[in-house]
């Protein structure tokens, strides 16, 4: 493997070492040991900036399951590098912040950092993988690791519920996405994203285009908390604040954004892609802003603001995809401004949102509360936290001279430009985008003002707090200070990022618009004259101030008093329905009766196998090639049948044991007659052991009681018995008949010809079990191993009877 591969899986490798470090180096905070890795990876990925900024890419491949087209392909271009830098850069600051936020005495740091490293590695795998199946594997690891992080404080019911909700919703989306990836493979015969983009005509002309697109978007929307799947994100706030800062600013919620951006060259330019992404994005933007205004908890406000900001980026990606419809070229900024704004705001959001979550965590850590109804007057008590929060909130509200102002102006410009596209009825319906964008921006200004003024202004009341309030230690302030500084630096000098990160990312999203050696124009400046975007910003500020000043009036409305998102009711009712439904099914299945279980299994086998045989016209009879049956065989068969039928009429245990043994030994005799000594020996051993075990527990067996059953009971038994017997007889007869067909290629010929050559054995049965079906055998051994571990766990953790006390 290459260095790039090792860099991708390095977090997983370090996660393996964390328990050992935690055990043998308890005097040192585990975070210091972890901090080295994301910092080294960040510096390593910085070295790729000259490569991507020059328009080059890097691809390294390692075969994984080449027979299925699955390769561990690691691909670095402008888009993947941007995300890799965010993941490792913000990850470094989050780990540093967590060292001071989480106490090594009171927290299970080994668990925390193992989960965090899994999460980091999975995100790197998502953004660097070129193979869709490998991407999917990492995608699901992000769902698992994020749920573990959300439920880190598992003794809290809200934490476990939030983890469960995130798992349900994101895994549902992930499975849908896997279906979409499979359809892409059907259309293009490859899992490589590069090759799919190169053969995009095969996708756009296929009848599977729309189903594949919808399934993939379900994965993106659930992961990036788009309406109506956004309800998991606010509940994820039960995680420790370092997790919230990481998850919301640079990692999991950006995975869906990444997927949409990465597959824009495949699906972009179609009306369906344009409208679905744009409408879902703008709806999420407005709904998230409305919900954020209603919250009273600092992290809840920030959570819904993240939902809203993700909707903003998604809207821009949807609108910007229209440039592929026109194939306009890099110089036409009318169509590419939206993509430029999406990439720039992606970076800006990571900086100001990361700093805001960290300051919210500091406030909670040093005051013991995040409730804005209790907070107030912290400006003089926590001056550094106040300054960082002011910068972050001003940037999120879109105020100059911070970086959020620049990308918000581009957002307004992109929505206004969209009304001039002249496609997809944008000349009429397109007016909704700038209007809704402006409304959402007003609400964003309002909740930023609420968060700022309710927390830092007013009179400080010590009686509202259970602890002595003071500024956080400097170590906890380093990370938010760095992020707050970047907000200012990127706001004052935005072109530091223009052609190093933003333009290469745009080139990855819209590769078809560039001629060889051409670049997008990414000149970013604060002043563009008095234009529509500037007037919209002025309107946001004026109206936002008015609404905030009138807060005493509208804060008494039911709208403001109900904090919980009403869509949670759908989720709650759905989960309740699933639970009650599964309980009903379980009660119907798990009756405690062996007979019922046999009825279910045999009935299912009859339906499935019978339909399969009928569907493929597999029933056949051929008596021409049958050999004559000797009298000895007739005698054995009649004894076998008689012994089997007699079981139903036996009333004594010893007689039943003897008859069952006779049946088993007669079956072994049949194997001997048909020259299958291995099977005969196995049958003899199994039957002998079974009879011996029966005799050992003879006195403990229940009495055989013949119940006077109802007619329905006997009829069902008769139907099941005749059905199974007839079906398997028909399968055996049909298999023999098809084997005599000259056009039918028997699989047995393959094993006869290749057992020695491919597996080095003459015993075909053993070769099939050990070599040709080696994976099955391995999985069977794995199942037994898991069962053994379960038994050991139950023995070691057996109840003492006081667990519920």
Mapped onto helix, strand or coil, the DSSP state of residue 374 is coil
State the pLDDT at residue 105.
82
State the pLDDT at residue 428.
78
pLDDT-based confidence at 805, cuts 50/70/90?
very low
State the pLDDT at residue 128.
96
Give me the count of residues in the chain. Answer: 805
- Please give the structure tokens belonging to residue 758: 């491919």
Q: Which of 327, 75, 71 is nearest to 200 (CA)?
A: 327
State the pLDDT at residue 225.
92
User: Could you report the per-residue pLDDT of 706-757, keeping only the tens digit for each?
Assistant: 554 555 566 888 888 889 989 988 888 888 787 666 566 777 778 888 888 8
Q: How many CB atoms lie within 10 A of CB 716?
A: 15
pLDDT-based confidence at 640, cuts 50/70/90?
confident
Question: What's the rounded Cα separation, in Å, for the pair 403 and 490?
Answer: 5
At 227, give phi and psi (nearest 5°): -60, 135
- pLDDT: is 596 or 148 the higher one? 148
Question: What's the rounded Cα separation, in Å, for the pair 255 and 174?
Answer: 11
Q: Kindly indicate whether the domain formed by 594-753 is annotated with CATH number 1.10.260.
A: no
546-563 mean pLDDT? 85
Q: How many CB atoms lie within 10 A of CB 757?
A: 7
Mapped onto helix, strand or coil, the DSSP state of residue 75 is strand
At 214, give phi and psi (nearest 5°): -65, -45
State the pLDDT at residue 735.
82
Question: What's the rounded Cα separation, in Å, for the pair 336 and 800?
Answer: 67
Q: What is the mean pLDDT of the chain?
A: 89
**CA 457 to the chain's CA centroid:** 41
236-265 mean pLDDT? 90
pLDDT-based confidence at 804, cuts 50/70/90?
very low
Ordered by start, the domain boundaries in the chain are: 271-347+375-566, 594-753, 754-805
- Please give the structure tokens belonging to residue 766: 């053993």
757-766 mean pLDDT? 81
Q: What percent of the chain has pLDDT over 90?
A: 56
User: Could you report the per-residue pLDDT of 409-456, keeping only the tens digit for each?
Assistant: 999 999 999 888 877 778 778 889 999 999 999 999 999 999 999 999
* Cβ atoms of 319 and 414 closer than 8 Å: yes
State the pLDDT at residue 706.
54
Q: Which of 592, 323, 344, 355 is nearest to 490 (CA)?
A: 344
| Distance (Å) of CA 764 to CA 619, 672, 675, 757 | 28, 17, 13, 12
State the pLDDT at residue 14.
95
Q: Is the pLDDT at 206 greater than 50, yes or no?
A: yes
Q: Is the pLDDT at 473 greater than 50, yes or no?
A: yes
169-181 mean pLDDT? 96
* Cβ atoms of 225 and 307 closer than 8 Å: yes
Question: What's the rounded Cα separation, in Å, for the pair 193 and 84?
Answer: 18
Q: Is the pLDDT at 50 greater than 90, yes or no?
A: yes
* Cβ atoms of 405 and 412 closer than 8 Å: no
Query: What DSSP letter does each residue of 569-610 carry, written as one string?
Result: HHHHHHHHHHHHHHHHHHHHH--S-HHHHHHHHHHHHHHHHH
State the pLDDT at residue 710.
54
Residue 186's contacts (CB-CB under 8 Å, 6 or more residues apart) are 208
Please state the pTM of the whole predicted model: 0.83
Least confident of 534-538, 559-563, 790-794: 559-563
Look up residue 369 and give its DSSP letter. Answer: -
Q: Is the pLDDT at 581 greater than 90, yes or no?
A: yes
State the pLDDT at residue 166.
93
CA distance from start to end of the chain: 54
């Amino acid at each position: 493997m290459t260095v790039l591969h090792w860099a991708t899986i390095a977090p997983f490798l370090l996660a393996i070492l964390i328990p050992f470090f935690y055990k043998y180096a308890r005097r040192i905070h585990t975070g210091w040991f972890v901090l080295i890795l994301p910092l080294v990876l960040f510096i390593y990925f910085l070295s790729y900036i000259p490569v991507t900024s020059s328009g080059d890419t890097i691809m390294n491949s390692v075969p994984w399951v080449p027979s299925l087209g699955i390769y561990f392909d690691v691909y670095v271009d402008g888009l993947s590098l941007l995300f890799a830098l965010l993941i490792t850069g913000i990850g470094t600051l989050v780990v540093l912040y967590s060292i001071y936020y989480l106490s090594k005495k009171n927290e299970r740091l080994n668990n925390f950092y193992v989960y965090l490293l899994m999460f980091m590695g999975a995100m790197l795998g998502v953004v660097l993988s070129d193979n869709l199946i490998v991407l999917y594997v990492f995608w699901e690891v992000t769902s698992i690791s994020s749920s573990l992080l959300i439920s880190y404080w598992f003794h809290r019911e809200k934490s476990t519920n939030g983890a469960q909700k995130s798992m349900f919703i994101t895994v549902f989306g992930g499975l849908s996405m896997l279906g979409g990836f499979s359809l892409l493979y059907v259309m293009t015969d490859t899992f490589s994203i590069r090759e799919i983009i190169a053969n995009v005509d095969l996708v756009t002309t296929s009848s599977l285009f729309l189903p594949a697109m919808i399934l993939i978007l379900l994965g993106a929307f659930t992961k990036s908390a788009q309406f109506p799947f956004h309800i998991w994100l606010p509940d994820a706030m039960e995680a420790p604040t370092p997790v919230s800062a990481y998850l919301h600013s640079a990692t999991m919620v950006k995975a869906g954004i990444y997927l949409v951006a990465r597959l824009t060259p495949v699906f972009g330019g179609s009306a369906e892609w344009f409208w679905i992404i744009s409408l879902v994005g703008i709806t999420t933007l407005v709904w998230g802003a409305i919900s954020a205004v209603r919250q009273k908890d600092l992290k809840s406000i920030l959570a819904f603001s993240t939902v809203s900001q993700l909707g903003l980026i998604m809207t821009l990606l949807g609108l910007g995809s229209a440039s592929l419809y026109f194939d306009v070229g890099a110089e036409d900024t009318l169509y590419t401004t939206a993509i430029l704004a999406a990439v720039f705001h992606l970076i800006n959001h990571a900086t100001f949102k990361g700093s805001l979550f960290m300051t919210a965590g500091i406030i909670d850590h040093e005051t013991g509360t995040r409730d804005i109804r209790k907070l107030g007057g912290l400006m003089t008590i926590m001056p550094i936290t106040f300054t960082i929060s002011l910068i972050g909130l001003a940037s999120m509200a879109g105020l100059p001279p911070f970086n959020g102002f620049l990308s918000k102006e581009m957002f307004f410009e992109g929505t206004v430009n969209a009304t001039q596209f002249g496609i997809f009825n944008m000349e009429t319906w397109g007016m909704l985008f700038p209007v809704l964008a402006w409304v959402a921006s007003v609400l964003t200004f309002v909740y930023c003002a609420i968060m700022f003024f309710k927390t830092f202004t007013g009179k400080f009341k010590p009686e509202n707090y259970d602890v002595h309030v003071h500024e956080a230690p400097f170590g906890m302030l380093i990370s938010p200070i760095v992020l707050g500084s970047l907000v200012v630096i990127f706001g004052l000098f935005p072109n530091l990022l223009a052609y190093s990160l933003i333009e290469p990312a745009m080139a990855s999203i819209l590769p078809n618009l560039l001629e060889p050696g051409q670049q997008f124009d990414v000149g970013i400046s604060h002043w563009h004259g008095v234009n529509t975007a500037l007037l919209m910003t002025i309107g946001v500020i004026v109206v936002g101030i008015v609404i905030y000043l009138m807060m005493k009036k509208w804060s008494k409305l039911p709208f403001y008093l109900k904090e919980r998102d009403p869509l949670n009711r759908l989720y709650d009712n759905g989960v309740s329905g699933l639970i009650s439904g599964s309980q009903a099914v379980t009660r119907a299945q798990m009756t405690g009766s062996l007979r019922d279980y046999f009825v279910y299994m045999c009935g299912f086998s009859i339906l499935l196998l019978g339909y399969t045989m009928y569907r493929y016209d597999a029933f056949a009879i051929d008596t021409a090639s049958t050999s004559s049956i000797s009298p000895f065989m007739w005698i054995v068969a009649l004894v076998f049948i008689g012994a089997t039928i007699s079981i139903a009429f036996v009333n004594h245990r010893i007689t039943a044991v003897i008859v069952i043994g006779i049946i088993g030994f007669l079956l072994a005799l049949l194997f001997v007659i048909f020259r299958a000594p291995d099977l005969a020996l196995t049958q003899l051993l199994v039957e002998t052991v079974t009879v011996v075990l029966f005799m050992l527990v003879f006195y403990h067996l229940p009495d055989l009681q013949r119940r006077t059953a109802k007619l329905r009971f006997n009829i069902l038994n008769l139907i099941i018995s005749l059905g199974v017997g007839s079906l398997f007889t028909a399968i055996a007869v049909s298999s023999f008949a098809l084997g005599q067909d000259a056009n039918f290629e028997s699989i047995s010929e393959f094993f006869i010809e290749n057992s020695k050559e491919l597996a080095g054995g003459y015993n075909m049965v053993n070769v099939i079990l050990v070599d040709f079906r080696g994976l099955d055998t391995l999985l069977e051994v794995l199942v037994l191993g898991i069962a053994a571990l379960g038994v050991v766990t139950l023995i070691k953790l057996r109840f003492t009877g006081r667990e519920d006390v």
